[in-house]
Chains A and B, each alone.
Chain A
């Protein structure tokens, strides 16, 4: 526990007293003198480093010289509730230096190593071990900058390198320098996007980006908002559809109403269920529509489900189609689904969080054919386009201000109507959040840097690499595709030599089921790469390889397969 004191009064500057004190930062007398001369107000001593005697003597001399000045200053000091208000409480110069040092570490340890395949993807430690290695405890007194920089190094060392070319574990990966610059700027400016007054630049940027995304969907006009994640975008859409269906629910709530029912495919993202429960709709009122063997919603089954709901006397209001399912990467047939929605007067939402980026590619946008008929679309540029977590847009076809009517609360302290500028720019009331991050900006800067063509190349490249991997898998012994992928999700089993001769039967599948978790464990402990696996709808554990990062080359694809063989050859 440090002793807090006012230098001028609490300590009498004699040598013995000072000898018993230890000094903040390190024992460097220059640092000490700088501190004394720049800020007299408040000073913390704590037991970190012993002050050398020579330094003490120097200090006493200095205190003597400054005493006159200090007394004068103390006289003018504004003391409120025991706090001196003259001078800031923080040392900006030292703070800036710390940020610079931290930036250096970030550049050296994160950025420059991101392209180096000889670096590990992860430095695995079991939770209990890692707890001991990381000094996580938060204490009463602060630590020196040197110690803090060491802590930052530790954080980096034991964090998974999601920008490593051999990180294939999630639907995001890689590094884009431009979006990263925008993200750094965002952090330094620390804005919140609710009013033009506080975030003029970022509001206009968001408006521009949304307009551009809408253009790719194929709408003439529309509305939209950036959200903290695709799950939240899906919730927004669900609530919006409900509001359109029955606006009074906003005021009256759902109690006692007929059953509202929504439809989505068996392969949809789990956020549909989470949303239905959060919004009070209830998970049993999510009707899951059967998919074909490729994971695509079967329109005839949708029609049947809608009929069933009607027969039950419930109120269908929404269909959520998926463009790019999480595991298989399947695209629902949007045109046919849109026909059914039109026929029954249902809101069509498309969860294109993962697949939306294909819209940028002239070659692959046909995967989302019919998306212009949707009422709302969720699209996360942080996935395939590497905009950085999080960058998620909900786009809405409506042009009548539905989003605002649905969400607005008209807080008088934030959205004053007597401002001196056009308050239609204060778009924050469209959100369920209050403060909100400017997530469109990173996408904007990246787009400026790469142009639409650069983004398009990125998508084409990812899908070409996936294609390459598929062909390799077909060629190699022991690898077996689950299905021919239509997107960047390559799902496959690896059958180790010992299982290759086994007869197809429950025992075979049980054994195969155990392969992926073991391979995963081995790759993580080795740190050579990261790749996801899962069981899925009756199928035993298989790998899901996702190619996104433009750093990835063919060699990495070959490595992936070689490495699996290497890790699993004895299984």
Chain B
């Protein structure tokens, strides 16, 4: 019978596959790891979408291609991808390439498992527990719970859902329609995932009460108090406050102690979105920025940002020890979480999650930590702060550079005022014209591929640059280059 033919032998050529893999690994080390972090090379090789599409020959066809052709494709992918590990990639809240974490990530991919049961992922179930405990220890909790999530946005949503469940457990079954109108609070400067979360969870974006922040971007506790009162007066039931440690644009830290006082007074769940700022907890010098974080009920912290662990590595940490996470999300699927297994099924932690299959995100952080130790991580955090400090002083010294505000974290926000606009600060069109400078410089730097840095308008402020240096490969020379390059690219604007 035709169906049976070929079933005696494996349906793929292992030897050829291994050879291909070996060649690809060499390519990867050359193109992505070495060249991708080489200052003498470009950060990006800009192509318009249409052109790039043609260059890459993306189409998927009926027949396969030979290995040499595929290796060329891999080379193209590396060539036209942005080198986020390059020391002059300052564009996002992640950058840099850590070799130890990379090894952990490659190993994770090779082992290809899903983190739901001890049966399937014995090493990683135990490892996740240890890593989460370590992160909790830095938050200041001796016990608690937690889980790695696919991104900080989801961590925030988890927290929101757990808070809702704790307050109204019946909502899980009956739905939010049966609950009163809920209200949650976050500062104007909070990450957009809070709004997305409110929409997704059926709470509604109108029920996110945005609390005013001061000129540095920090939530004003008195305003929080007022918003809570306002929500109550509208008949809504406040249940959740999300404070931010390290806002996305300005890098501001909300005053956790005062916010915690307010939460305590009103009996509200305090979540701290420390996706960005959490890593400062590693530094004895800078952890005071998060003073009071131990009073939170939940914390979101993404080591993939400042610690260069690699996307994604996002932890949600909970103070609760009563199994709230499991009760809130557990479904007890009998095909996966059988109760009659021959080992202690308390180790089958996968039912705490919203996901079913879940990637192993702990190994890369664990291996990095093993490699450099808590002290090595602290050194990286201190160094990132020092880089920003250095740039701040330089920006103040140089003509044409103007700080948006004195940073408390490592978000360096500044305008570059080109020579043609200097001394015209009083003119009507000054701000409008200044707002066009950053996009023009950005276009030029991307076309040249010399570096990448982000810009945005923010509130009433016109476009300004936001520079972030987290990569441990960055040196003073790169920081000088950064400012010189802005001057060079913007001098004729």
Contact = CB atoms under 8 A, between A and B. Distances in A.
B65 to A, nearest CB: 6
Contacts of B60: 208-209, 212, 444, 447-448, 452
A282 B112 contact: no
Contacts of A270: 331, 333, 356
Contact of A388 (B99, B109, B386): B109
Contact of A184 (B24, B84, B120, B151): B24
Interface in A237-273: 239, 242, 249-260, 269-271, 273
Contacts of A199: 81-82
A412 interface: yes
B121 A159 contact: yes
Interface stretch (B173-181, B315-323, B400-408): B173-181
Contacts of B32: 185, 188-189
Q: Which range holds the interface residue count of chain B?
A: 35 or more
B354 interface: yes
B355 A229 contact: yes
A85 B151 contact: no
Interface stretch (B190-198, B262-270, B289-297, B423-431): B190-198
A201 B206 contact: no
B17 A177 contact: yes
B444 to A, nearest CB: 9
B467 interface: no
Nearest to A213: B60
A467 interface: yes
B176 A88 contact: no
B452 to A, nearest CB: 8
Contacts of A49: none
A229 B354 CA distance: 10
A279 B248 CA distance: 26
Given A85-B476, A184-B25, A253-B204, A453 B62 contact: yes
A283 to B, nearest CB: 5
Contacts of A230: 356-357
Contact of A544 (B52, B335, B456): B335
Contact of B58 (A99, A208, A228): A208
B191 A181 contact: no
Nearest to B7: A554
Interface in A79-129: 80-83, 85-90, 92, 94-96, 98-100, 102-103, 106-107, 110-112, 114-115, 122, 124-127
Interface stretch (A50-58, A148-156, A296-304): A148-156
B291 to A, nearest CB: 19
Nearest to A154: B123
A189 B84 contact: yes
Contact of A551 (B14, B25, B195, B376): B14
B157 interface: yes
Nearest to A114: B14
B73 interface: yes
Contacts of B196: 407, 409, 432
Question: Which of B94, B335, B374, B479: most chain A Cβ within 10 A?
Answer: B335
A198 interface: yes
Interface stretch (A434-442, A494-502, A562-570): A434-442
Contacts of B87: 88
Interface in B1-59: 3-4, 6-12, 14, 17-18, 20-22, 24-25, 28-29, 32-34, 36-37, 44, 46-49, 52-53, 56, 58-59
A158 B62 contact: no
B112 A106 contact: no
Interface in B111-128: 111-114, 118-127
B492 interface: no
A283 B172 contact: yes
A480 interface: no
B65 A198 contact: no
B143 interface: no
B83 interface: yes
Contacts of A162: 111-113, 120
Interface in B201-257: 201-207, 248-249
B21 A107 contact: yes
Nearest to A77: B476
A356 B73 CA distance: 27
Contacts of B12: 176-177, 550-551
B398 interface: no
Question: Which of B56, B197, B356, B374: most chain A Cβ within 10 A?
Answer: B356
A130 B122 contact: yes
Contact of A282 (B18, B81, B134, B177): B177
A133 B13 CA distance: 36
A514 B58 CA distance: 52
A231 B370 contact: no
Contacts of B443: 420
Given A95-B100, A282-B174, A420-B442, A461 B344 contact: no
Interface in A389-423: 389-390, 407, 409-414, 416, 418-422
B260 interface: no
B146 interface: no
Contacts of B416: none
Nearest to A441: B77
A543 B457 CA distance: 59
B29 A90 contact: no
Given A81-B382, A281-B202, A450-B64, A143 B175 contact: no
Nearest to B64: A451
Contact of A520 (B249, B342, B373, B479): B342
A91 to B, nearest CB: 9
Interface string A135-150: 0111111110101100
Given A388-B109, A465-B7, A253 B202 contact: yes
Contact of A198 (B10, B84, B105): B84
A175 interface: yes
Nearest to B37: A92
B130 A189 contact: no
B356 A464 contact: no
Interface in B158-174: 161, 164, 171-174
B64 A228 contact: no
Interface string A184-223: 1101111110001111111011001100100000000000
A388 B360 CA distance: 12
B78 A205 contact: no
Contact of A172 (B22, B58, B73, B357): B357
A412 B456 contact: yes
B99 A178 contact: no
Interface string A51-68: 000000000000000000
Contacts of B85: 188-190
B357 to A, nearest CB: 5
B58 A445 contact: no
Given A165-B10, A422-B49, A85 B387 contact: yes
B258 interface: no
A374 interface: no
Contact of A534 (B150, B338, B439): B338
A103 B100 CA distance: 12
Contact of B366 (A87, A103, A138, A249): A138
Contact of A169 (B4, B120, B476): B120
Nearest to B75: A185
Contacts of A447: 60
Contact of B334 (A185, A201, A208, A536): A536
B58 A444 contact: yes
Interface string B90-109: 01101001111011011101
A277 interface: yes
Given A115-B14, A140-B373, A269-B356, A251 B204 contact: yes
Contacts of B397: none
9 contacts: A81-B382, A88-B87, A184-B109, A199-B82, A200-B82, A254-B202, A433-B150, A453-B63, A457-B11
Given A107-B21, A190-B310, A514-B340, 9 more contacts: A83-B382, A99-B102, A107-B25, A158-B122, A197-B82, A413-B454, A451-B61, A464-B4, A555-B8
